[in-house]
Amino acid sequence: MADLKIAIILGSTRPGRNGKGVADWVFAKASERTAADYELIDLLDYPLPHLDEAVPPSMGQYTNDHTKQWAQKIASFDGFIFVTPEYNHSTSGVLKNAIDYVYAEWNNKAAGFVAYGSLGGARAIEHLRGISAELQLADVRQQLSFSLFTDFENFSTFAPGPQHDGAAVVLFDQLEAWAGAMKTLR
């Protein structure tokens, strides 16, 4: 068992979502690695209502059971890969809501991004980078961007080209290195 734990967070709960295929591909690639243990976290399994905590998450005074469960889950990881669609030039509302629920549980950890959309989800990733900075998440440079036009059959079946394999290795290498370095800060 590796010393590092990294979550792959599937940031879409939409019926017929394309993200499941993307997240499964990322998880399959990550499972071949030995420097970290990867776990796929599907937000469908954490049905968080729109943020319903009275006190800001930065205070760490969670009152709802669903928040406490989510906080415990996020706290158990050293790093994260966010798999996000691009909706209206940003990330999904459900992923943003899940991120906003907790604060300290994200701090001093590493993050990487995988996105998909008509322009490869690049704008969703840029928004997530700004959010990460506020949460004291150190995001790595390498990202994976999948186009609905070239990496999906009929815009719905994930079928990435082999050119993404090398980029995925770089993403994992960077994330594992940074997650290990950030662990020394906690």
- 4-10 sheet: strands from edge to edge: 36-42, 4-10, 79-85, 109-117, 137-147
Contacting residues for 65 by C-beta, under 8 A, at least 6 apart: none
pLDDT at 47 exceeding the cut of 90: yes
Does the structure show a pLDDT above 80 at 1?
no
d(CA 154, CA 172): 29
User: pTM for the full model?
Assistant: 0.97
Please tell me the CATH code under which domain 4-183 is placed.
3.40.50.360
List pLDDT tens digits, range 120-147.
Answer: 999 999 999 999 999 999 999 999 999 9
